[in-house]
Amino acid sequence: MDAAAEREFTQFVAARSMVLLRVAVVLTGDRHRAEDLVQGALAKLAARWHKVDEPEAYVRRIIYHDHARWWRRRSARSELLGATVPERPEADRAADAVRRLDLSSALRLLGPRQRTVLVLRYLEDLPEAEVAAIMGCSVGTVRSQAHRALARLRTLVPELDERSADDVEELRR
């Protein structure tokens, strides 16, 4: 990579890495796994930097695909994960913390496609057509996956029906 390309790549990483990490944390439910996912995606992007027209779309697609691949491999093993304690307590109201944990646990119960659709549609606020392009599926598939995922979340965490707008805002923070 020449000096100009390296400078462009470094600027991209500095500007977008925190946003990518936030998305990966929501997607994986684990900050350490998310950091590994983003680091691997950025390494793949660096190797092809001079060939990529849309670096953000490229790295996001890598993140979503690598996470789905990891999730499939993990689910093929017979591990059972228990509830985890947050690494650092947040200075937040107790009800909000409980709701956030409930939502986080419920998101982990969704499949990778459904979780990806929710992250792209509601956290990233992307239009259905763009989500379909990133995931390599039809707009109808995005709609049906989003519908099923939201229905499953409402079943798992009934409080979401009452405060769904607040939950989306909570995820964005």
Q: Quote the pLDDT of residue 111.
A: 87
User: Which two three-digit tokens encode residue 74?
Assistant: 């993990």
Mean pLDDT to the nearest integer, 39-55: 91
Q: Quick one: pLDDT at residue 16? A: 92
Locus of tokens 């995005």: 142
- Confidence band, pLDDT 50/70/90 cuts, at residue 123: confident
CATH 1.10.10.10 domain position(s) in the chain: 87-173
Report d(CA 159, CA 40) in Å as an integer. 36
**CATH 1.10.1740 at 1-81, yes or no:** yes
Q: How far is CA 62 from CA 65, 66, 99, 104, in A?
A: 5, 6, 30, 22
Cβ atoms of 16 and 56 within 8 Å: the answer is: yes
CATH 1.10.1740 in the chain, residues?
A: 1-81
> What are the distances in angstroms from CA 3 to CA 8, 14, 21, 144?
9, 16, 26, 46
Q: What average pLDDT does this structure show over 5-31?
A: 90
Give residue 103's pLDDT. 77
* Amino acid 162: pLDDT: 58
- pLDDT band of residue 158 (cuts 50, 70, 90) is confident
pLDDT score of 74 = 62
Q: What is the CATH number of domain 87-173?
A: 1.10.10.10
Q: How confident is the model at residue 14 (pLDDT cuts 50, 70, 90)?
A: very high
